[in-house]
Amino acid sequence: MTDTLNPDRIAFSLNPRAKNIAVHIVEETGSTSTDLLKQADTLFSPTLLLARRQTAGRGRSGKSWHADSGASLTFSLAWPFLRPTEELSGLPLATGVALALALRKLGVPVALKWPNDILKDGKKLAGILVERVSRQNRLEKNGNWVIIGIGINLQLPDTLAEKIGQPASGAPLLFRMDKNRLVAALLNQLADAFALFEEAGLSAFIPIWNDMHAYQGKPVRLFQEGRPGQSGTVVGIDSHGRLLLEENGNITAFSAGELSLRPNPEKAHHAFTD
Ligand code: BTN
């Protein structure tokens, strides 16, 4: 079957910027990100680890990432960055732009949700988990190595929807396409975005990020561990990837940390009726 994931077939479709990615595919693992974090000390070039079945996927804020074999695409990339460590807070957002651009080019109408969710039809299609590696045995002269984990719901069978337990969406178009071409398309866009991030930082992504944000200019509320916090209208993001919220004429910046964003329909209603 041409569709069967195969490292050589993926490598064949990679562009010059992505060509040096070492492509590894495993049948099953707990978490591709955990595996790469463990191997990070021994890596010398950008590395992809893709699992056909991931059984203990991790998400942001200590949450689980649920996946079904065949219905989900789960992979992690280990990548070295020379930009100052404090600027890496912008990398999850730059990754979100790359993923969203790649998916849009493939015909899937997606939007971003701060800090780095990918939405389709207003529901989560894909998630991104960015973790910095602390390299114990080597000088950090090669820069910071980062593990970028990506999970995409290609399909949403009832079994997976039940496990996720929150509104989520799938993308049948992606489910049907050749998975080697799909992975190569994602890697090509990610490699281009990482090169731009290395050159110019998150600043180069801000206009497109704001443009792709589902809640740009909309009333929202931030939540921490399910508890409601600050509300306001989304102004955009800054060069650190912080969300800028405006309330009563004041603009405040929020770091992603453990925060998540939800629309604030109450305010939307008031804005409409005022
Ligand atoms: C989130 O939205 O909370 C981030 C989800 C990230 C999931 C991916 S799946 C591949 C990689 N391995 C993991 O354990 N997590 C990431």
The 10s digit of each residue's pLDDT in 10-53 is: 999 999 999 999 999 999 999 999 999 999 989 999 999 999 99
Percent of the chain with pLDDT over 70: 93
Q: State whether the beta carbon of 74 lies less than 6 angstroms from ligand 1.
A: yes
Q: Is 96 in the pocket of ligand 1 (CB under 6 A)?
A: no
Residue 257's pLDDT is: 84
The pLDDT of residue 273 is above 70: no
Ligand 1 close to Cβ of residue 115 (< 6 A):
no
Q: What is the pLDDT of residues 170-228, one digit of tens each?
A: 999 999 999 999 999 999 999 999 999 999 999 999 999 999 999 999 999 999 988 99
Given the CA of residue 126, which atom of ligand 1 is nearest to it?
A: 2
* Cα–ligand 1 centroid distance for 151 (angstroms): 5
pLDDT in tens, 152-174: 999 998 889 999 988 899 999 99
Relative to the CA of 59, which ligand 1 atom is closest?
Answer: 3
DSSP string over 235-264: EEE-TT-PEEEEETTEEEEE--TTEEEEE-
Pocket lining: 116 vs ligand 1, CB cutoff 6 Å: no
- How many Å lie between the centroid of ligand 1 and the Cα of residue 156? 16
Among protein residues, the one with the nearest Cα to ligand 1's atom 2 is 127
Q: Is 66 in the pocket of ligand 1 (CB under 6 A)?
A: no
141 has a pLDDT exceeding 80: no
